[in-house]
Each structure stands twice: as C-alpha cells, then as structure tokens.
A = this chain, B = another copy of it.
C-alpha cells in the first residue's frame, strides 16, 4: 500500500480563529452544543479523516468578554460522539499532572471498548499556575518535574492497561469459572510520584491501550515523544522548520530503540479556502477585522510573562525577552511566538492578527488546489506524515476542506477514498497493536 496522508480534525468551538464566533454564520453557544460537535464529526467522517481531537486544560481560559470560554470535558464529549460515529478516531487531551493514573487509565480503556478501538490520548503536562491552583498547589510544578511525573504516569498506565491478558476471560459456564486469575497482573507500582497496587478493573481493550499522542515541542517534549508518542501534533511556520523537526523526531525515536515509522508527525495547518485566491484572502481579512486588539495584547503579555501595559500595538516586541530556558510555562509556544515576531518583524498588532488565526499554526489561504499543493509538498518532502486540520471557522471551514480539498487529495492518490471495514485508530495510523508486557511472543 502506498503511503497515505493522515488527517486529524482539531475541533474547537466555532473555529480556531479567535474572532470566528463574531461571524454572522456562527452560534455563540456552539462550544457547549452536542449537536455542533456531532455535525463536525460527521463532516470529518465524510472526509475519511483518521481522527478527531480536542485540546484541554483544567482551568477557565482567558476572560469571557473576549471569546467563547469553557467547554465540554473532552473525554466526556468524545464518548458521546463514539455512539454517533462509526469509523473516526477520538483523541482526548488529558493531563498527567492533574489526574490519577488509575482513574484516567479506566476512562481511556472504557472509551476504547465503547468505541470499538478508536480511543486516543493526547498526553499533556499542563503549563500554568491557574491549573495548579485548581488542584491544591500554589504554583505549577517545574517543567522538568512535570515531564518526570508524566513519564512515571505513562509507566503506570501501561502497567494498568496490560494488567489483564487478552484471554483472561474464560466464560466457562459449566465449570462455573468466569475468568483466569493467573492472567491478571497487578502493577504493584511504587515510584516517585505514584503508588498503584491493584490491577485495572477493565479488561484489555481492542487496541490494548489508546493511541498515544503528544504535542509539546520543547526539548523535554521531544524526548518524551520519542519514547512514547505514536502521533505528534506540532506547530511549524515554514517547511524548513517542519523538515528539521520531522527529521529530529524520527531520529530521536530511532535512538530510543523504536521504529521511526511508528511515530507520525502532523503539523497543524489553518486552511482558509476560497474559490479564488482573492476570495480566500478576503475571508482572512474579514476574520482579522473582527479581532478585538485589547484582548490580544493582554494574552501576549501573559504568554511572554510581561507586566500589563508593556506592549504597544504598533511597535515590535521588546528586544530583551528572556530565553526559552528561563520560562516555566508553555516553552515551545513561547519560542514559536517570539521567533515568528522576530523573523517577520511584526508589530504587536500584526502578531496578534497572525496568532488570532490559529494561535501560531500555519495558515494556508488559497484555492483548494493551492491548499492541496502545499499539503502534498510538505507530505512528500519530509515535513509531515499528515496534518492536524484546524479550520479558522467551524463548521464551514471543515465543510470547505472536505468538499473541495479532500477530492483533490484523493484524485492524487494521497488520501483514502473510503474507510473500508471497521478498524482501530492505531490501524488507521498504520501502527501495530502493542503486545502485552506480560505475554511472551509465541515464537520464543
């Protein structure tokens, strides 16, 4: 089989552009409307996407005045979508800093069973003091400590997901023997961050465990991804940067003793599609015209850890910003924003315009052919195994992508034309079902 694009639909409220809710077509209450997400899931299935994805943080983002705030909790929402969809993968973000492994492992195992093997977990360590203060802490744990906890969390979760062998259930009614207790393996884990004694109370699932996804691109993030991740979402502004990231991650993965084919790299793109290039640019401009700049300034000051009223709309960023290593928050996002502003010599106003349209992810604005061309170029020139599609406006932007770009990608042989028989999410991404750590391969 030839190499195919993997497409993920990153769903967010009325779209990834922060002003999308202000367009006439948008419903300001869509962010908590089940029907909105059901509709998006069906569009994505029509486009034979591999998966849906929802971001998350356990705190109330931003202020309410600016844009839709609050959301349905991703695991809950994706579980509701599981019974209303058939093929598409369901990737929920959940934090290793603010969950217990036993609780979270159960929920993902349950979703994997309920969805017939379509669960994925976007593993995040959750930057920011706001989240920490919702969980009894005064400040966020240090970046390195969050990643150390994440690694131990994964270790425990994998032990839990493997705690039942696949054939632990016997179901022998005549003998009165339901299961085989010798095929259950309690983790008896005693580590730095966690002690977890008993086996999971969910049998092993269709995929064994959810597809493991990761999105941080800091040094710690890439190190973590090379050990655990099977798919990586990343924000890259140029094909050169994207190729460098791709090559780096594949080689780190090989160095970690894994097959580099078993980690799929998906840069985020914000497609803005028009029948003509001018129409696409007009759509972009319409969105930019709806940005309320005072909010953007406040957000930038928070990200860059500057005092309020430091930034001026029509000047560039201050020259003396600290290096990434001195930042305790979302490191890779910090660097992305600073580099974008420096590279293109953007004023604060221009920077806010760029960030408003996908928070630093690359916008491809153009005709369906131009968008398809860009996708093909990145895909065939070592920059991507697929894309994290982040429409500026939802649902219309996803509709436009599926109706106009997807047919071109299919004609070029880059994308499946139908799902075929039911398969697991890991199979869609071309990954093997993981072996159970307690079972010796039969050929040994």
Query: Chain A residues in contact with chain B, CB under 8 A?
Result: 19, 21-24, 26, 28-29, 32, 34, 38, 57-61, 63-73, 75-77, 79-84, 98-100, 102-103, 106-107, 109-111, 113-114, 130, 133-137, 164, 168-169, 171, 173, 176-181, 183-184, 194-203, 290, 292
**What's the Cα separation between A197 and B181 when bound, in Å?**
44
Given A21-B173, A83-B34, A102-B135, are A59 and B198 neighbors across the interface (CB < 8 Å)? yes
Pick the contact of A110: B69, B72, B102 (CB < 8 A): B72
Q: Is the CB of B133 within 8 A of A58?
A: no
Q: Is the CB of B103 within 8 A of A290?
A: no
**What's the Cα separation between A34 and B79 when bound, in Å?**
12
Counted per complex, copies of this chain come to 2
**What's the Cα separation between A103 and B57 when bound, in Å?**
10
**What's the Cα separation between A65 and B83 when bound, in Å?**
31
A113 to chain B: which residues have CB within 8 Å? 32, 34, 72
**What's the Cα separation between A99 and B199 when bound, in Å?**
18
Beyond known contacts A28-B171, A32-B202, A73-B202: 8 more, CB 8 A cutoff: A21-B173, A22-B176, A28-B173, A64-B169, A70-B200, A72-B202, A102-B135, A133-B196
A199 to chain B: which residues have CB within 8 Å? 60
Closest B residue to A38 using CB positions: B83
Q: Is the CB of A22 within 8 A of B76?
A: no
Q: Is the CB of A173 within 8 A of B22?
A: yes
A107 to chain B: which residues have CB within 8 Å? 73, 75-76
A82 to chain B: which residues have CB within 8 Å? 80
Q: Is the CB of A110 within 8 A of B171?
A: no
Closest B residue to A63 using CB positions: B181
**What's the Cα separation between A22 and B177 when bound, in Å?**
9
Min Cβ gap A308→B in Å is: 16
Closest B residue to A138 using CB positions: B195
Q: Is the CB of A136 within 8 A of B28?
A: no
Closest B residue to A78 using CB positions: B79
Min Cβ gap A306→B in Å is: 22
**What's the Cα separation between A67 and B177 when bound, in Å?**
7
Q: Is the CB of B59 within 8 A of A201?
A: yes
Q: Is the CB of B178 within 8 A of A130?
A: no
Q: When A and B form their complex, which 8 residue pairs have the shortest distance between CB atoms, in order from nearest? A: A64-B179, A28-B171, A133-B197, A76-B110, A73-B110, A79-B79, A60-B201, A72-B110
A136 to chain B: which residues have CB within 8 Å? 194-196
A168 to chain B: which residues have CB within 8 Å? 64
Q: Is the CB of B29 within 8 A of A171?
A: yes
